Structure 1
């Protein structure tokens, strides 16, 4: 035990320390190395626990009065999307990308108004103003920033969509939309319908 918590020594560290002592070698140096290994493993474990604590399952009741047509909660702080089916038999939790800055972030209630497989993309006027070098139109395909599927929201220009650039997930990387891995948005696409409730917090 260390600080009241169990210590998991790696098999390699234990065997190394035992062999050194059996051979009469400099055991203190090997034990110091073993202690360093233990401390590194504890620190890594602590970091993993902290990351997982912000990405946890939630109940729908604090956010919705019901789950009619299904319900989606997007938490821009934990960068996670939660989905509950209408009958509450299905719950999904996905990592997301979120807007780059606070002024690009919109919060509140909306709903899915259109679903598209293989969406095309046009930058908004604000995007073109910020990035005049961007193309006016990108057809469906591997270069499309909306990925393989898009769920259009009642707010103009806002979507929940896939991305071919997987480095964006889990980061502040979008111009306002919510991005998911393509395989996740494909699954969400099948679970949702036009009229599914959406809340961004």
Structure 2
């Protein structure tokens, strides 16, 4: 037994003395005042660099932070101010012509369900074809994997969906 413990100890020490990589910087709280003049109906900041979505309620008492997917490339990324214009449980999906050009195997339409890339809930932004939505493929969270949207785990998007109101201001940076 002592030999097994001694064999395990050097690897533990090496792991602690080598370069340490943390992803904690992505999950620092932010201040909404750096991005908006007021909370209004609530605000969302989607930080594409750190792959984190921040939400504040209109009265400022509810702050939430979620890991996200981000666009696959800078050309698919849109930054700036927008807002939530509608919400849908069980969204259907129609890939854009540009998505179908990049991947001709995509279907022309996909009904709600387990294969739908929009997951269980979607919040549509004032920019056409840009959404905050769930994903059934949990491997995508924390990775550049979307065609421009911000994706969350289905359980997180359902939680966010329940508190976000239409008219919520959104900033993608």
User: Fold match, TM over 0.5?
Assistant: yes
Q: Does 1:143 align with 2:115?
A: yes
Q: How far apart are the structure 1 equivalents of 2:95 and 2:49?
A: 25
Structure ranking higher in helix proportion: 1
Matches of 1:162 and 1:37 in 2, distance apart? 37
Give the number of the structure whose alpha-carbon radius of gyration is greater: 1
Aligned twin of 2:170: 198
Equivalent position of 2:12 in the other structure: 37
Shift of 1:41: 3.6
Aligned to 2:95: 123
Q: Which residue of 2 aligns with 1:16?
A: 2
- Larger RCO (alpha carbons 8 Å, 6+ apart): 2
Q: Distance in 1 between matches of 2:86 and 2:172?
A: 18
> Which one has the bigger strand percentage?
2
Unpaired runs of 5+ residues, structure 1, are 1-14, 21-29
* 1:66 partnered with 2:38: yes
The equivalent of 1:96 in structure 2 is 68
Distance 2:116 2:50 in 1: 26
RMSD: 2.0
1:167 maps to 2:139: yes
**Any stretches of 5+ residues in structure 2 without a counterpart?**
none
Output the CA distance in 1 between the equivalents of 2:133 and 2:115.
14
